[in-house]
Structures are given as structure tokens and as C-alpha cells.
Chain A
Amino acid sequence: MKFARFAIKKRFFYFLVFIIVFLVLTAVFAPMIAPYDPLQIDLDHIKEAPGRNHLLGTDTVGRDVFSRIIYGTRISLLVGISATLLSLGLGLIVGLVAGYYGGKTDMVLTMITDLFLAFPSLLLAIGVSVLFPPGLFSVTAALCVVGWASFARLFRGMVFSIKENTFVDSARAIGCSNMRIMFFHILPHCLPISLVAASLKVGNFILSESALSFLGLGVQPPIPTWGAMISLNRCYLPSAPWMVLFPGLAIALAVIVFNALGDASRDMMGQDIKI
């Protein structure tokens, strides 16, 4: 019975991985998949309802909503994944150093980490993103500034318990340097859990990216982003709901998949991780 349950979980896990691969491929091959140019203005067919010509309808200047959503996948995934990797890397280094050395180093690093966690995340992201000209860089930077601290806190705690193991003592006994112990002996033990945390974070970041785009702080038009599509067309919701509905569903689906992947892999590992 237990095994059957595990098998179901595993199948669900692979299903999610499959969807994510599918999403990534959509982003990479967007020009081949999209039936129309996402920037092509067609004033003869404005606000057209979903139909045979335009699968998900057209927007106020006749651009194809389906093509724009496909291109929007690029920004969301690019920002979500790259910001996660960057903040994961930074959090990993800070967490390792703080957890491994302990003492004063740990105190200072933990204080800095806690400071960044003391801000409401979206407000801090807004504050950081206005420092740069809006675009890919400002969004990614804003999300990294917000995101690294929770990773650092997670890894610090893990390193604290990992370093008590005897294999760390024996590594030290045969003369490994601190760097070597940290990165070759302790780090590999953090990786499985960082995968779970990263997956949850990607979902979180895609959500934040869309919020920043919605506020006009994200990647700028004419490049299509899901958040901006909703923001630009929101006054047409009663008359042409497809312009807002489908980008919103796209965000929700992408976030659900990454969140569910995080949950599923956490269940499979049977560990309780909060991030």
C-alpha cells in the first residue's frame, strides 16, 4: 500500500517535470510555436473574441493574445529561474559560511540576513527596482535582493547540523582546508533540499515578476509580459475578458506547476522544509 502510494507520487512528480520541460521548450521555441508576431498590430481585427483565426482572441490593437502569452513565457521563466539560481547561490554561500564558522561571523551574517527578511518582500522589491532603469536586470536584481535571505537562513540551519557529523571531523583530520570541507563535503548534503526550496521559489518569483510587471516596473513594453498584459487591458475586462483572463490563467498555471513540483519533491524526500 505504501509502495503504491509512493508510485503514484512518483508518477505525479514526473508529470510535473514533463510540464515544466514543456514550458521551457515553449519559451525557447516561441517564434516557431506562436502563430502570429506578438508585436504585429492589426487594426482591422481589434478586440476580436477567441475563434478560429485567433485562438485566444486579439487585444486593443489587434495583437494576437495567444502569441503574446507564448512570448510572455520567456520573460516569466527567464526571470523566475535566473533570479532563483542567483539568490540560491548567494544564499548558499552566506548560509555555508555562517553555519560553518559560527561565532561572530555567524552573528554578523545572521543579522544582515534578518534585516533583509524584516522588509515586506514586494515593497523591498519595488524599492530596489526603482533604482535601475526598468527592464530584465532591474527585476532580476530586485528579486535577488529579496530572495537570497530566506535561502541563507535555510542553509545556515542545515549546515549547523551537518557539520556535527563525523565525516566532517575526518575530513579535517586528513587536512582538508575549510573551503574544501565547506564546498566538497558539506555542500553536497544541502543540494537535495535546495532543489525543493528552489522549485517553490521559482513559483514565488514568477508571481512577484508578474506583480512588478503589473505595476509597470518589470520588462517594458512592447516586449510582452503576462503581468503587463493584465495591467494594460484591465479596463476592458467586462467587454473583452479574454485579454485579461488568459494571461492571468497562464501565470496561475505556471506558478501552480512549480509549487506542486516543490511539494511533490518534498513529499518524496519525506522532509519538512519551509521557505
Chain B
Amino acid sequence: MKHYFVKRIFLLFPTLVGITLITFLMLKALPGDPVQGLAGERSSPDTIKRLQKALGTNQNVLQQYTGYMRLLLKGDLGRSYYTNRNIAEDIIQKLPNTLKLAVGAMLFSIIIGLLLGILMAVDPGSVWDRLGQILSVSGISIPVFFLGLLLIYIFSFVFQLLPPSGTGNGNPVFLILPAATLGLNSSAYLARITRSSLIEIMSQPYIITAKAKGVKKSGLIMKHALKNALIPIITLIGLDFGSYLNGSVLTETIFGWDGIGRYAVEGIFKRDYPVILGCVLTGAFLFILVNLTVDLIYGFLDPRIRHRAQA
């Protein structure tokens, strides 16, 4: 068991090197020459040479990459073109907000997704099942930003129940709409997975035995089937946590939520490349971390996976 965990964590390093390589290449491919930008149009060749030396752009690509890695290892993501603030510090400051939103979205999607999925699986082919399927396909297909605007319109303007935007200094009321927006998409996926894995399990012999024993239908699903249907569901919940990073870019923009997603979008509008790439790198890093955690939990829950990995 230890072997599996060690191996899985060890595999992390090539991936991390790989994603830094990609962001580095993106950095190199950016339009415009930073030295020209700093020196101005009418600078002498001497100034340019001096700046090149100072910035290290006269080195070869490999040296530049190792320099980039060295900075990253120190936790340095560079400074914003506009505010000249340390990007890593900004991101660390905004991270808790994004995580809070993601956890809220996760809770929402688990509650709605499981309920809807169970409702659909109780009687496959029934009206409820059809209705649930239509709902879940719509939930998957609706754009996150459009959903957010709709929810603001309905709950903030028409009914005036919830605040339309802002973080509200940690007031949970402010979290409801953004979390619902961010979580709806994955709740639709979750409902589908719950439905299909419950239906599959309901045809297993042990369920028939339980039925023969006289267990009620509600007990059958809630007690006997759901427990075994949980593994694919848990995987999906974990994997979706990573997809919240995508959704948070749009959700945070719409709800004025002060997190990494909105930070990235502000960077986009101002063409603040270091900020954009810093956010991309942080996102990838978080994504990998979450996937690792899911894998580890998965290996913990299901011993078969550990053994397969060892073989």
C-alpha cells in the first residue's frame, strides 16, 4: 500500500516539469519583445545589449528555462505589468476565496446531483426519469456565464432575495448564487453518473436477494445500492473539483468574487501576460494536486486499484 502511494507521488515530478515547460514556451511565444518594450523604440544598441544581459535574454533557451525554474522554485511568479505587485502574493491572497467558492459549489452539486440521480434511478423510464434527464442535459449544456446572469436576474432583481455580487466579507448569503452557478454543471453530470451506476447495481444478484428478503424499495436504494454506487460518484466529485477552476474564471467575473478566476480575467483585459500565465500555472498545479488526492483516496477505498498499480 505504501508502495502505491510513493509511486503515485513520485510520478508527480515529471508532470510538474512538463507543465512548467509548456508555460515557459507560452511565455516565449508571447507577442512583443520585452527588451524592446523596456528600452523604448529609439534606444541605442548598447542599452539593448545591457538590458539583454540584465534580463538574461541573451542566454540560450535551456539556460533561460533553468532560470525560470529557479524562480518558480522560489515561489516567484514575477510581477504584474500594471500594478507591479508580486503575482504569487496576490494569488495566495485570493486563493482562499476561490477555494471557498469551490467548496460551496461542491456541496451544492453533491446535494442536487445525488437527489436528482436517485430520483431518476428509482423508476427508470418513468416521468421523473425523463424529466430528470432533460434537466441534466440542460444543466450540462447551459453556459456558466449565462446561468449566472439568469440567476442574478431571477433572485436579485425579480425577487430581490439574494445579493447580486461581491464577497460580502465572508457573509454566507453572498456565496449562494455563485456556488449554485458554479456547481450546477457538475451536479448535472453527477446526477447522470448516480443514475447509471445505481441502475447497474440494481440488477446485481445481491439486490435481488435483498428484494426477495422483503426489503422495501427505499431501503433497497438508500442502504444496499447507494453504498456500492459511491465509488464512481466519489471519483467524479473529485475530478469535478478541478473543473471548478475553469468555471471559477467565469463565475467570479460575473459575481465580482475576488478570487483567482477574476484575477486572471482582469489580466486578460489588460493583456497582463505574467498574471495570465501565473494563473494558468497555479490552476494546473491545483488541478494536479486535486487529481493526486482523488487517486490516493480512490486507492484507499478500493484495494483492487492498489494491486493493479503494483503489478
Contact = CB atoms under 8 A, between A and B. Distances in A.
Q: How large is the interface on A (under 10, 10 to 19, 20 to 34, 35 or more residues)?
A: 35 or more
Interface stretch (A35-43, A67-75, A120-128, A155-163): A120-128
Interface string B236-277: 000000110111011001100000000011001101010011
Interface in A179-225: 203, 207, 210-211, 214-217
A172 interface: no
A275 interface: no
Interface in A19-33: none
Contact of B153 (A111, A203, A237): A237
Contacts of A114: 15
B19 interface: yes
A251 B149 contact: no
Chain A interface secondary structure, helix, strand, loop or mixed?
helix
Contact of A126 (B247, B276, B284): B276
A248 B143 contact: yes
A123 B283 contact: yes
A252 B19 contact: no
A127 B26 contact: yes
Given A111-B18, A215-B265, A127 B143 contact: no
B284 A131 contact: no
Interface stretch (A49-57, A77-85, A88-96, A255-263): A255-263
A259 B64 CA distance: 44
Contacts of B287: 118-120
Given A119-B19, A127-B26, A251-B146, A203 B141 contact: yes
A131 B146 contact: no
A118 B284 contact: yes
B146 A115 contact: no
Contacts of B254: 234
B239 to A, nearest CB: 11
Given A119-B287, A120-B242, A127-B23, A217 B268 contact: yes
B47 interface: no
B212 interface: no
A102 interface: no
Given A118-B291, A248-B150, 6 more contacts: A118-B15, A122-B247, A214-B145, A231-B145, A252-B146, A259-B140
Interface of A: 111-112, 114-116, 118-124, 126-128, 130-133, 203, 207, 210-211, 214-217, 227, 230-231, 234, 237-238, 241, 244-245, 248, 251-252, 255-256, 259-260, 263
Interface of B: 14-15, 18-19, 22-23, 26, 29-31, 137-138, 140-146, 149-150, 152-153, 157, 242-243, 245-247, 249-250, 253-254, 264-265, 268-269, 271, 273, 276-277, 279-280, 283-284, 287-288, 291
Q: What are the 4 A-B residue pairs with the smallest beta carbon separation, nearest first?
A: A248-B146, A122-B246, A255-B141, A115-B18
20 contacts: A114-B15, A118-B15, A118-B284, A118-B287, A118-B291, A123-B245, A123-B264, A123-B284, A124-B284, A126-B280, A203-B141, A207-B143, A214-B250, A216-B269, A227-B145, A251-B146, A255-B142, A256-B137, A259-B141, A263-B137
